Amino acid sequence: MTRKKIAAGNWKMNLTADQGQSLVGAIVQADRPSDVLTILGVPHPYLQAAVQQASANRGVQIAAQNMHEAISGAYTGEVSVDMLLSLGVRHVILGHSERREYQKESNELLKTKVDLALEKGLIPIFCCGESLDIRKSGEHVTYVSSQLQASLFHLSAEDFGKIVIAYEPIWAIGTGETASPEQAQEMHAAIRNLIKEKYGSDTAESCSILYGGSVKPANAKEIFGQSDVDGGLVGGASLKAEDFLSIIRSF
């Protein structure tokens, strides 16, 4: 079964409105492989403009970087799933390590967010990954497995099949450090095997698992060449059109 190749960019809290508009325009207008889905995770204030820019190009889709777990209510400064859907957003990044750390988002909270996103028709890009201490302890596979089991493994096979997983070794985010292609493959294979044990081969083989951790033009081809790596969730390198396009073309 052929898995979808995905190059996703996470802008985080970067770029002005004009800079963002220029970047989306450059990505949308460029020649890109037709078999690679490009997803741009832009800050909430830029979502509507980005969706409008990307609407004419089916190979580019827009993701929100987060959403609140409640449908609506007195949550000043938060963004709801219906708000995102009303703008034409179709993906949402959930469980990024920075939100787990800084906003103290738990596996249980993320379970609620995943359920709401799927109920409403948003596609979660679900992030998981371990710290340097956990990696050094040799417990990284167990730790990441527990994240998936706690937040996702209550889902039906049908709903699980809608999710994109992004494995991000926290020790390699924004540090310049990168997991070796072999380390990335080891964890991606472990994740796929865990899915296989829970949901069976068909679901496991159709699930796109992205690598996120200092992906750059210089290392993307080798990382994406691993048998269980289906693309990347790219941070800093997604902020420059030339770099991100090079990554998109590196499959």
Q: pLDDT (tens digit, 9 = 90+) per residue, 167-188?
A: 999 988 777 777 899 999 999 9
Q: Is 168 one of the annotated active-site residues of the chain? A: yes
pLDDT value of residue 32: 96
The one catalytic residue in 96, 105, 140, 188 is 96
Buried b (16+ CB within 10 A) or exposed e, 139-157: ebbeebbebbeebbeebee
pLDDT value of residue 236: 95
pLDDT value of residue 1: 61
Number of domains comprising the chain: 1
pLDDT value of residue 171: 85
Q: Is 130 one of the annotated active-site residues of the chain? A: no
pLDDT value of residue 166: 98
Helix (H/G/I), strand (E/B), else coil: 163:
coil
Q: Which value, to the nearest 10 degrees, does the dihedral of the CA atoms of residues 6, 11, 17, 21 take?
A: -20
pLDDT tens, per residue, the chain with 251 residues: 689 999 999 999 999 999 999 999 999 999 999 999 999 999 999 999 999 999 988 899 999 999 999 999 999 999 999 999 999 999 999 999 999 999 999 999 999 999 999 999 999 999 999 998 999 899 999 999 999 999 999 999 999 999 999 999 998 877 777 789 999 999 999 999 999 999 999 999 999 999 998 899 999 999 999 999 999 999 999 999 999 999 999 99
Q: Which value, to the nearest 10 degrees, does the dihedral of the CA atoms of residues 25, 29, 35, 41 take?
A: 0
Q: Tell me, what DSSP letter sits at residue 138?
A: T
The one catalytic residue in 69, 98, 130, 168 is 168
Q: Alpha-carbon distance 124 to 139, whole Å? A: 26
Here the CATH number for the domain that contains residue 170 is 3.20.20.70
Residue 178, domain extent = 5-248
Specify the pTM.
Answer: 0.96
